[in-house]
Amino acid sequence: MQVRPTYFPKLAGERLDIALCRASASVARAADAHAAGQGIGVGQHLVLKMLDDVGPCSQQALSEELRIDRSVMVTICDDLERAECVRRERNPRDRRSYAVTITDAGRHRLAAAEGAVPAFLHDTFQVLTPDERSQLAALLSKLLNLPG
């Protein structure tokens, strides 16, 4: 007979850090599953979104801003380049580096992915009221020291 876990709720109540890590992992799994259904990885989506919003960037800038490990960023950019969603060009301000630029194909792929985000967010956070979602966003911004 399977025993229903009773310890984790107690632990999560005592250790906010543990609860937040588990919630984050759960949301990350949901985001990965959603992205797989869209045919674009979460990292790829974020890179296309940033490039569309801010323009050409170095892989280093993408890595730092999106908090994606540099080695993972190389793979993401390689995959996006193969799919013709981005192109890499010599950075005119620093010939030693490359600027990653979104292409029209990348913009189309981004638009399709962005169109599915509201339903994903609704499904993932449906246990929270709209006010609770706003509170969560504000609290996370505060924890992450984001301007707000």
Could you report the per-residue pLDDT of 95-145, keeping only the tens digit for each? 778 899 999 999 999 999 999 999 999 999 999 999 999 999 999 999 988
Q: Assign 10 a pLDDT band (cuts: 50, 70, 90).
A: confident
Are the C-beta atoms of 50 and 115 separated by less than 8 Å?
A: no
Q: Which residues contact 14 (CB under 8 A, 6 or more apart)?
A: none
Amino acid at 126: Q
Can you give the pTM of this predicted structure? Answer: 0.84
Query: How far apart, in whole angstroms, are the C-alpha atoms of residue 124 and residue 42?
Result: 15
Instruction: Determine the Cα–Cα distance for residues 104 and 29; give it in Å rounded to an integer.
Output: 29
What stretches of the chain show up as alpha helix (H) in DSSP? Answer: 7-14, 16-38, 42-54, 59-66, 70-82, 104-115, 117-124, 130-143
pLDDT tens track for 27-56: 999 999 998 888 899 999 999 999 999 999
* pLDDT at residue 6, rounded to an integer: 80
- Return d(Cα 143, Cα 98) in angstroms, integer: 33
Please state, in angstroms and as integers, the Cα–Cα distance from residue 112 to each residue in 40, 45, 48, 57, 71, following that order: 10, 10, 12, 22, 27
CA nearest 38: which of 89, 109, 96, 92? 109
